[in-house]
Chains A and B, each alone.
Chain A
Amino acid sequence: QKEVEQDPGPLSVPEGAIVSLNCTYSNSAFQYFMWYRQYSRKGPELLMYTYSSGNKEDGRFTAQVDKSSKYISLFIRDSQPSDSATYLCAMNSTGNQFYFGTGTSLTVIP
């Protein structure tokens, strides 16, 4: 079983839609949860970072962590064509080793 599972999509939505991206994980020791955005032919860039359970909002983005269910989500409100990218979830516990999902490909259609 993989440490982190993420639906690869692809996901295609119309501009202005609310997008929900999700990951599940198996290691209950994970405490730090991150979402990265990766545009084609680029390295991932950090979007959101949360610690433990709860919600965190940053502009149009909301990250949600449910440690009891081992489930994290990223919501994108009022999605824009510029949000079209691959979204990767990542998490870690101790040390500096990060575990990543395989990424969900998102296309926002104008």
Chain B
Amino acid sequence: KAGVTQTPRYLIKTRGQQVTLSCSPISGHRSVSWYQQTPGQGLQFLFEYFSETQRNKGNFPGRFSGRQFSNSRSEMNVSTLELGDSALYLCASSEGTSGGSMFSTDTQYFGPGTRLTVL
């Protein structure tokens, strides 16, 4: 199976602009999670989509939003970019079938990430 793909791989934007990142999960996976990775904070969970619905959400401001399409592909949007939004944005896909239960054993498979630089 093909792995998780993310586009674009690199992006440079200026403050105040908005950006949309795309993630295509592994075929058959219905859950897509988004993470922000920075040297100081590590990997921080943004949100998770399952069957076109946001199922879990991290502690990020409303400028960060996402959506998932019927083919499980997901997009993440960041509006009014700030310098501190510069980071590697990773998406991870999983089967997602045990999400919400006490016995979640889904393995997450990560894409290569999109490196966003905000100037």
Return the CB mask of B97-112 against A: 1 if under 8 Å, else 0.
0111110111111111
Cross-interface CB contact of B42 among A32, A45, A88, cutoff 8 Å: A88
Provided the pairs A95-B99, A95-B104, A96-B55 are in contact, do residues A43 and B112 lie with their beta carbons within 8 angstroms? yes
Closest A residue, CB atoms, query B9: A41
Closest B residue, CB atoms, query A45: B110
Q: Which residues on the B side are within 8 Å of A94 (C-beta)?
A: 100-102, 104
A42 CB within 8 Å of chain B: yes
Pairwise interchain contact B101-A102, C-beta atoms closer than 8 A = no
A-B contact count (CB 8 A): 74
Q: Which residues on the B side are within 8 Å of A88 (C-beta)?
A: 42-43
B28 CB within 8 Å of chain A: no
Q: How far is the CB of B66 from chain A (nearest CB, A)?
A: 14
Pairwise interchain contact A98-B108, C-beta atoms closer than 8 A = yes
Return the CB mask of A53-89 against B: 1 if under 8 Å, else 0.
0000000000000000000000000000000000010
B4 CB within 8 Å of chain A: yes
Pairwise interchain contact B56-A96, C-beta atoms closer than 8 A = yes
B70 CB within 8 Å of chain A: no
CA distance A7 to B18 in the complex (A): 34
B25 CB within 8 Å of chain A: no
Q: Which residues on the A side are within 8 Å of B72 (C-beta)?
A: none
Chain B residues within CB distance 8 Å of chain A: 4, 31, 33, 35, 40-45, 48, 50, 55-56, 58, 90, 92, 94, 96, 98-102, 104-113
